[in-house]
């Protein structure tokens, strides 16, 4: 099973939202370091997770669950996911609960089954610890970023830009930082704790600036947005419109 090394080097990923194992396999062969199977906003169901993980042979397969449901976290890991992303992690307590769902006793509550795919159906028993991406998407999450980063078992503080921007716009009276300052705050919290920091990006974002802030785990677009723009770039010039 593939696992993602913790490193200060740039780790490039992308979102898989179509639920297609064909797209997952193509993305894997294209050279990404990690691929995010999206169960929160993606089109694929839980039943489509295993087939996608099975074709991801080079990158780290990360599953984003829609909520911190222990049974879904455990099932994804049993299927061979290298890590889990949980959205809306706003407190250290929530982060710690996610870690417990990912780990076996005495450090967690995950049930052990030695015949699952993660252990090559019982042929091997060694498996690296799964990587945990705690997604920071709320004003509260930014305020608690240092406490979240201090939780043992949190590997990556990962900012969800759309929800965070929506929170800042919706509750300006609660916001002490603008979006740029939130990026700096979370990156600083991760750096001080010796943890990695990540962000979902557009192709037009300034990657060098983000790297300078300390962001190492950068996801570039989603399969849907990349397909959308590719289709538009083919069609629009032929219809005499600007792409």
Please identify every residue annotated as catalytic: 41
Question: How far lies 219's CA from each of 25, 76, 79, 229, in Å?
Answer: 17, 20, 23, 17
Alpha helices in 124-222 (DSSP H): 139-143, 145-149, 161-170, 179-193, 207-213
Phi, psi of 149 (to 5 degrees): -65, -25
Peptide bond into 106 cis (omega under 30): yes
CA angle at 165 for the pair 159 and 171, rounded to the nearest 5°: 120
| Cα gap 43→16, rounded to integer Å | 9
Q: Report the relative pairing of strands 60-64 and 131-136 from DSSP bridges.
A: unpaired
Strand partners for 12: 218
């Amino acid at each position: 099973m593939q696992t993602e090394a913790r490193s200060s080097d740039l780790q490039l990923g992308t979102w898989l939202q179509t639920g297609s194992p064909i797209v997952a396999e193509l993305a894997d062969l294209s050279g990404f370091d990690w691929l995010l199977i999206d169960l929160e906003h993606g089109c694929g169901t839980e039943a489509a997770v295993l087939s996608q993980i099975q074709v991801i042979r080079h990158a780290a397969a990360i599953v984003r669950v829609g909520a911190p449901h222990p049974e879904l976290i455990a099932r994804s890991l049993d299927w061979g996911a290298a890590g889990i992303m949980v959205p809306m992690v706003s407190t250290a307590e929530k982060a710690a609960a996610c870690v417990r769902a990912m780990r076996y006793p005495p450090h967690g509550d995950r049930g052990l089954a030695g015949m699952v795919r993660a252990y090559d159906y019982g042929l091997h028993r060694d498996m690296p610890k799964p990587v945990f991406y705690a997604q920071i998407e709320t004003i509260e999450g930014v305020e608690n970023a240092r406490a979240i980063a201090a939780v043992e078992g949190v590997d990556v503080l990962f900012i969800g830009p759309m929800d965070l921007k929506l929170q800042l716009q919706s509750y300006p009276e609660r916001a002490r930082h603008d979006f740029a300052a939130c990026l700096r705050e979370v990156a600083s919290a991760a750096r001080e704790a010796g943890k990695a920091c990540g962000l979902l990006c557009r192709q037009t974002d300034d990657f060098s600036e983000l790297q300078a802030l300390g962001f190492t785990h950068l996801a570039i677009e989603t399969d849907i947005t990349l397909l959308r723009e590719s289709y538009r770039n083919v069609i629009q010039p032929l219809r005499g419109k600007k792409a």
